[in-house]
Amino acid sequence: MTPTLVRHHPSAASARTGARAYARARDWAEIQERMLVPLYEAVYERLEVGAATRLLGLDCGAGLALLVAASRGAHVTGVDADPAFVAHARGRLADDGAPGDHPGSVVCGTPADAVDGAPYNLVTAFAPIGCAGGDADGLTPALEAAVPLVGRGEPVVLTGWGPPERCATSAVLRVATRLTDSPRASGPGGWRPALRDDLEDVASRSGLKPDGSGRVACPFGYGDMDSAVRGLLSTGLFDAAVRATDPAQVEKELVEALHPHLRPDGTVWMPNVFRYLIARKP
């Protein structure tokens, strides 16, 4: 961003920030979030999610995973720290923050703010870890706050990117590394290769006992190049690159990296594999 000597009025700056945040949440909700539906469905099928399920979704984003669970009869509560994403999630669940006839609720804050819905018998963390520096460390505090809200033996589901060689998108995500000085020290948003034991390490640090895992194919498919760029930027994995350079440079590099995945009809297609780990509270 070019420096300026003009100081914006706080309300104007806030409005611009809010507009950008809402646009990003919209792109996630309309383009990117659906890519992980096979992962949601595989987990829910394995755990037999239904009317008896009281689910707490961590970092629930725009709420699609909550909606899928609610369609199976589950009562769902989502937690996210981003007001723009919470607004989208509440809209999907018809949750206006007041008691009413809707399948669940979404809390803007941390798992500690969802204590009124406890006890839960399933906790999900569907924001995949393993491709952003610091994402595993960032999930641990949320898990530590959520685990006391479930009973002994209840499942906590962690998800992550599969091996880089099984994820075509990994080559595209390396753009984030090239545009930052230090990929491992770039903090949340900077890409790094997924590691085999990422999920197990987080479970161990959170005092959880692994109890099964699986892999799910989640191809990323986009109607055109513009949608692909907007969708990938909405993930937050390129935030460090944007800070290190500028949005136009990042978009240019993304288009170049996506070109091998551009099909003759103008669509973009990248096969990927994601992992999930079922862990339980001892």
Query: Has residue 249 been placed in a domain?
Result: no
Cα 55 from Cα 59, distance rounded (Å): 13
Query: Domain for residue 205, yes or no?
Result: yes
Phi/psi at 87 (5° precision): -60, -45
Domain assignment of residue 64, yes or no: yes
Is residue 254 in some structural domain? no
Domain count within the chain: 1
Q: How far apart are CA 9 and CA 186, in angstroms?
A: 31
Top-confidence range, 18-27, 94-103, 116-125, 256-265? 256-265
Structural domain includes residue 37: yes
Q: How far is CA 10 from CA 14, 15, 153, in A?
A: 6, 8, 49
Of the two residues 198 and 135, the one the predictor is more confident about is: 198
Is 244 a member of any domain?
A: no
User: Looking at the predicted structure, is the pLDDT value of residue 261 above 70?
Assistant: yes
Q: What is the pLDDT of residues 203-231, one digit of tens each?
A: 999 999 999 999 999 999 999 999 999 99
How far apart (Å, rounded) are the C-alpha atoms in residues 180 and 198?
23
**Residues 243-265, mean pLDDT to the nearest whole number:** 94
> Average pLDDT of 1-15?
34
Residues 102-112 have a mean pLDDT of 87
Residue 147 confidence (pLDDT) above 80: yes
Return the higher-pLDDT residue of 4 and 280. Answer: 280
Residue 259 in domain: no
The two tokens of residue 37 are: 């539906």
Q: Which domain holds residue 44?
A: 15-167+192-221+270-280
Q: For residue 146, what is the domain's CATH number?
A: 3.40.50.150
Q: Which helix (H) or strand (E) holds 171?
A: helix 169-178
pTM: 0.86
The mean predicted confidence, pLDDT, of the chain is 86
Please report whether residue 248 resides in a domain: no
Question: What letter does residue 194 receive in the DSSP assignment?
Answer: -
